[in-house]
Amino acid sequence: MFDVMRDYLSFGALAFVVTAVTTPLVAVLARRLRVMDMPDQELKPHARPTPYMGGVAICGGWAIAILAAMAMLPEMDRSMLIWLLVGGVAISIMGLLDDILELPARIRILAGAAILLIVLLFSGAGHELVWMALKRFVDIPRPVHGAFTWPVAVSTVLGVMLVLGACNSTNLIDGLDGLSAGVTAIISLGFFLLAADLAGRGLSRDADDVRLVLSIAMFGATVGFLLFNFNPARIFMGDAGSILLGYNCGVLILLFAGGGVNWAFGGLMVFAVPVLDTALAIVRRWRCGKPILQGDRSHFYDQLVDRGYSVRQVVVICYALTAIYAAVGLAPIWLRLRYILVLYAIVLVLTVVGIVWARMVRVDDPRPAPPPSESAGSA
């Protein structure tokens, strides 16, 4: 496992360096173009106008690391990785346009779905979802890349929905300085460890290099950006960065499905914190009778801030929770599926009990937001 990891660490280092060098340059450009996130004392209670466009630097570091991997790893499935790279850049550009022009939600969703549909169809990522779910019960052949069958069609539609959901989750969690970047860095590291062990087992060789490169490239890019985004943030990633992070995570979860059900569940558990935060916001808005897509201060991190914790304290708490869920998500390395399902069921029950006990799904309105003495992110 560690021998496999060593061969890919240089790509993470490259993504880190590129992102760390370009982030200050992007901040200067954002100020000149006046692409700034303005505080409003409601959903954006940060202290001062802060440049957006940090996602451009994240995308640059991620993309250059992937290109370097394609040049240096001759046995890699370049066709799949090229399509995933193009899709990530396209998703990030769409997010950048939203940062600048504030695109309507319907346009963002339709454009994102169209990009993902094309990418998943031609890359082959996620084509094994239906096969993975049914192979234990019926005799169904493993999908062949390039063959468009009903399992591939259904898998692609489900894959689009999953990746769109991941993009939305990482976008929603981008609400405090360093939160989305740090949480995604920990998730990416968890994915990298999971991918390294899966590669060592040889269960899905075609995508081994792709999983390893995507995860370590995003880890390096997010850590490089975090140097300038941790509280007090000097730049925000904006949608150009947050939905790219979700895209990368969603695609990796799809690729883990190629290794089996246990690996797919492991990837979902590693990504648990953004999913749980999104679910909590949706449930609370539903209980309050508010539109599901309407922004408010119902997120997990908002509620902690409203209870008196500082921005840094909340971010560290979220980092710790992400690390715990990521560690549990690595269970496929040691446990068989039957034990994994029991473990994950216990973790889910404990999570729900903890949320209810802490009154996180309360219907009453939270206390007013604190004064803008600390920067509180861009979401």
pTM: 0.90
CA gap 251, 270 in Å, rounded: 14
Question: Residue 304: its pLDDT value, please?
Answer: 87
Q: Quick one: how far is CA 343 from the chain centroid?
A: 23
* Closest alpha carbon to 228 in 90, 124, 372, 375: 375
Among 330, 308, 303, 331, which Cα is nearest to 318's?
A: 303
Residue among 75, 72, 36 at smallest CA distance from 54:
36
In contact, 222 and 179? CB cutoff 8 Å? no
What is the distance between the alpha carbons of residues 222 and 227, in angstroms, rounded to a whole number? 9
d(CA 240, CA 283) in angstroms, rounded, equals: 27
What token pair was written down for 3? Answer: 């021998």
Dmax (CA) for the chain in angstroms is: 61
The confidence score (pLDDT) of residue 146 equals: 61
What per-residue confidence (pLDDT) applies to 144?
A: 67
Cα–Cα separations (whole angstroms), residue 119 to 184, 267, 323? 22, 20, 30
Say how far apart CA 341 and CA 345 lie, in whole Å.
6
Alpha-carbon distance 159 to 193, whole Å? 23
Instruction: Map tokens 């009778």 to a residue.
Output: 289
194/269 Cα distance (integer angstroms)? 11
Digit-by-digit pLDDT tens for the chain (379 residues) are: 666 678 899 999 999 999 999 999 999 999 998 888 776 655 555 557 889 899 999 999 999 999 999 999 877 878 899 999 999 999 999 999 998 888 888 899 999 999 999 999 898 888 778 777 777 677 777 776 666 777 888 889 999 999 999 999 999 898 889 999 999 999 999 999 999 999 888 777 778 899 999 999 999 999 999 999 998 889 999 999 999 999 999 999 999 988 888 888 999 999 999 999 888 888 887 777 776 666 666 778 888 888 888 889 999 999 999 999 999 999 988 888 889 999 999 999 999 999 888 888 765 544 444 444 344 455 4
Angstrom distances, CA of residue 354 to CA of 114, 244, 350, 361: 38, 30, 6, 11
- 36 three-state secondary structure: strand
Which strand (E) or helix (H) includes residue 329?
helix 311-329
Domain ranges of the chain: 2-357
What pLDDT is attached to residue 61?
Answer: 97
Classified as helix, coil or strand, 50 is strand
User: What is the distance between the alpha carbons of residues 285 and 362, in angstroms, rounded to a whole number?
Assistant: 10
With 0-12 / 13-18 / 19 or more C-beta atoms within 10 angstroms meaning exposed / middle / buried, residue 323 is middle
pLDDT digits 0-9 by tens, 250-282:
999 999 988 888 888 999 999 999 999 888 888
Q: How far apart are CA 214 and CA 192, in angstroms?
A: 8
Which among 249, 253, 122 is positioned nearest to 198, based on CA atoms?
Answer: 253
